[in-house]
Amino acid sequence: MRVDYRKFAFVLLFVGISIIAERINFSQLWGANNQFFTLFQFFGPIAGGFLGMIWGPVSVLVAELINFVLLGKTISLLNLLRLLPMVIAAFYFGAVRDDRKWAKTTWAIAPICIAIFLAHPEGRAAWYFAIYWTIPLLAMLPSIRDYLFARSLGATFTAHAVGGALWIWSTNMTAAQWTALVPIVAYERLLFAIGIAVSYVIFTIVLDRIPAAAVLRLEKRYAFSRTRTQRV
């Protein structure tokens, strides 16, 4: 299989930027000590848009693994599982754009997460919390899937769904604590979605000016260039 080293170079570039962003904390996670959301939450999923449904998630995973080692994090089931949400969010972001047949498996992510959450006694007591995870499904509807903000909102709530499904079984959070998180989630995820959309446009504008970036999947409508022909 022929390897395009230009694309590989952009994978390394994204990994480097992601490692730096992972070191900038944004807010603390409930239910665990010394666990934070980072700046990475504001742009991580866009890797799926530029690099595709395979290389996008792979680049996110590589960045998280390197950061895991550099920060000297304890190897535990919870810490390892925390690598998954952003990887799957990157897959979602790329899959919604591609609309390939096998990419339609994206529809199954949210229902599975909801089922896992509700299987826990505290999850059933706070069942309404999982309503948030219908957002990725709504964002994939044909009438709104082409809107960047809808895709961004779906991606961040996909990460939230995967994280929540894992978190409820990995921590001792009560139904009352999950309930208290409802307004906080709305605030944080709205910020993350805005960050994802804005960073996607910024990255597109910058990359569109770099000839070597022709190997990437740029959406010209967000590059604000004269030609509207989309690179695939």
* pTM for this prediction: 0.87
Running along the chain, 232 residues long, what does each successive block of 10 average in pLDDT? 69 86 69 65 90 89 88 74 91 81 82 97 96 95 89 96 93 92 92 94 91 85 63 36
Which residues are CB-neighbours of 138 under 8 A, at least 6 positions away?
A: 144, 150, 154
Per-residue pLDDT of 148-166, as tens digits, reads 999 999 999 999 999 999 9
Q: Rounded to an integer, what distance in angstroms lies between the CA atom of residue 155 and that of residue 14?
A: 18
Which residues are CB-neighbours of 206 under 8 A, at least 6 positions away?
A: none
10 within 8 A of 213, measured Cβ to Cβ: yes
Which residues are CB-neighbours of 29 under 8 A, at least 6 positions away?
A: 35, 36, 37, 167
The reported pLDDT for the residue numbered 118 is 97
Which residues are CB-neighbours of 28 under 8 A, at least 6 positions away?
A: 35, 36, 37
The reported pLDDT for the residue numbered 87 is 95
